[in-house]
Structure 1
Amino acid sequence: MNQETPRPRPAHPAPAGALPPGRAHRTICGAAQWLSATTSRIAGDAHSWMQAVHWVLEAALHPRFCATTLRVARVLAELNPCRPGVAYLMRRLQLGERMVQYHLAALRETGLLAYIAKGGRQRGRPATASEFARVIPREFDEALGLRTKGCGPGRRVVGIAEAGRRRIAALARKASSTLRRTPHRPRRHCTPMRVGNSGLSSADRNPSPSEARLARGHHISPRTTPAPKPPTKPKRTAKPLNAVGRRFKLAAELVRLVPWLHGAAVPRVAWLAREVSDAGWTAQEVVAWLNLLDAPASVQRPAAFLAHRLRGATAVWPTAAQRSLAVEADRDSRRSAAARHRCYDHQGAEGPPPRLAKALHEGLRTGLAAYSARQAALGLDDLSPVSLEPAGPPTPPHTAEARHVAVATTPGWDHYAHTLRDGLRSALRAARTQRAGTQHRRRARRAVPVTADQWS
């Protein structure tokens, strides 16, 4: 008996709008997500872009591309320019920050969004949002048979294959439905109007007042029943700062108050001031401690200088009463007043930097010298200034002499010089000696070898 050979089944044609066989969608990463390097084309309008969004959703080209991504895309289609902030999308869509970032990344990795400008945070400036261009991936044009003209992101569509017309029409209907969809709002229930005569009067339809209110003697008209008061939401109170938050708050205040700390990194200052912050010191108390000694004219490493100055501070001023007396003495001291005035003069100065001022001065001197020589050669009068030499800095008074005058004229300095200074210096010397002894004992303990009997 002859056995019939089975006939090969005809291959089913790929549905219109699907990727060509053997062609897998690529995930766009890195520099290819910028508009200058993308292979996608700029969408002419929001409707065309939403068609591409629906096509990517139906083709399941990305594991995180879902209905929530479609909601994010609908909000992005309304923006012009497309510069959405993460906080705005969180508030608009009621999503978390990480969820919004995931879906924006899915739109970028599928070639539907391209960076125009990338936002971020800079110290001392408000945060900026990223600006995107709505683009259509090249795989969408190839799958639907769209013919384009031109090159780069600015190419335009000039035709479509017959096989993709029905598919593009279905995507157009979905895009229109998505763009027309409005966010859900709770319906307001109103009192229905009655048509025609009714056997009940308006007084009969109103509820009667409660017996408890009638017993208290309150007169309530049956037609004017008071409306219930809406529930009041409790006011939000600021959360108390933890230890790390207090450190950063103290560091920010120190960077603002101390002149030689301007420009220092706040996290670095917070780490160096952790001991005084955990001990409950305020910024004014730290400034009073730093003002006990004169600061140099220029500090090359502010963080290291701050660490050196704060060494042993908590051991010298362990109580809040001592620190409050020191703050009062610091407010009355002339050294602190001079430092504050130098800080204000530095902040309020609007002149050129020292190097630029010196260069301008040298150029002006050279030009005026040439002008004087030319005037002398022509036999004309010299109208240039007499002298351009800068005046020298004023000679400061001797430190001991100024301190003697301050002690004699300022009550705070008198209290510090006769009551606080000797005790502070002795306490600081004792604290440093104790710390040095502790470190010596630790080194000696580490140097002792451990025997096998001790381990057992």
Structure 2
Amino acid sequence: MMQHAHAPVHAAAAPPCPTRGENRISLNNRFDLVYEHADQEVDTTASRRTRRGDFLRAATWAITHRLHPKAGDTTLRVARDLAARLNADGHVAYCRDAMWRRLGISRRTLERHIAVLRELGLLVWAVHGTRTNTRPAGSGEWAGTATIYAAVVPRAWDDALGHRVSGHGYHARHIGFTEHGRQLAIADARRRARPTRCRDTPSCKTNHPRPTAEMRGKKNNTSAPRGARPRPRRRHEIPEPYRASPDQAAHAVSVAAWVRPRVPWTQGEGLRRLAFALRPWIATGRSAADIAADLSVWRVPRRPASPASLIMARWSETEGRNKRAADPDSREDRASAVPPNAAFLAAMDAVRARLTRVSPPVEPEPDPPGFVIRDRILASLAQADRARRARTAEQCLTFAEWESVCDARERAPW
């Protein structure tokens, strides 16, 4: 055996690197990855710009055909996240710090798969992010420049799908199909238009017996027997104390509008729900001031979840006590009790007279008309605007705030 029979066979020399901007397909029909960062720019890429649908299809095609040894399911997840945020120009902000948390992967893994998409010719840099502060000097704020990527598809994907492309590089355009590409596009369109078959769960209900139709004369038209169809019932029957005519409902809304701002724990309830809950109390003849005084002395949580439900529950308790008091047994107990004597009644009258002198009843103030409230609001807004324009540079926290004050002064009338 000759001496050089077992010598290692040297690999053939690699084909020359194509010039910048050319289609990166090797001589043996292999897809060449874009490793140079200089070829991953918008101005130097060989891929053409695209939108969301073609970007996802090209990414799926590249990952399925294993064009990159490190591409996988995580790469496709990253591509889908970018595609969901593409704008009309096919650009997307990187947002690395929010993206790796959203995808549930590490920051280093995200950077590695973004690099894989760039090497596959699916992403190119539109704007390089920097940490240079873009805020005005002295403002005390910091904001860097975001990295902006552009979605592209490689020329190899267009060739595989039979696309006719006009131009070269990022601004190339898809203008038609070859004969093979037309067949592929028709098959893909039919596959998308095909309805998906979904198997519903069989119903567990049995067929209900239907009433026998009445045959009247020799006509084809038949009708179900009378009484076969039940009369539709209302979903919610309103109890008796809460029923009201339209005028009574409007009066209840006005009472609730007066009560709600004066009782703190009812301010979280809607006006109509509160008015509905107060209808029984209004029906007893109480005024808005009496209802507000009664609600103010209740021992309730500071912010109840449903003030209207609490008021309705309290009314039910009151009605229950009244019914128990009206029973014959309770009347017998009341009859057997000792009535108060004259001295006790005189003492109670003296206490009531003293309380009336200390805190005389105050009549509720009428609400001001709407135009008075409007003038007050406009006056307060004008006063706030004058105070904002009267600030000095020392009173402003940022330089931008001081510039807005100066602009407001220039725009203000003399």
Richer in helix (by share) = 1
TM-score category by the smaller chain? 0.3 to 0.5
TM-score, normalised relative to structure 2: 0.35
TM-score, normalised relative to structure 1: 0.32
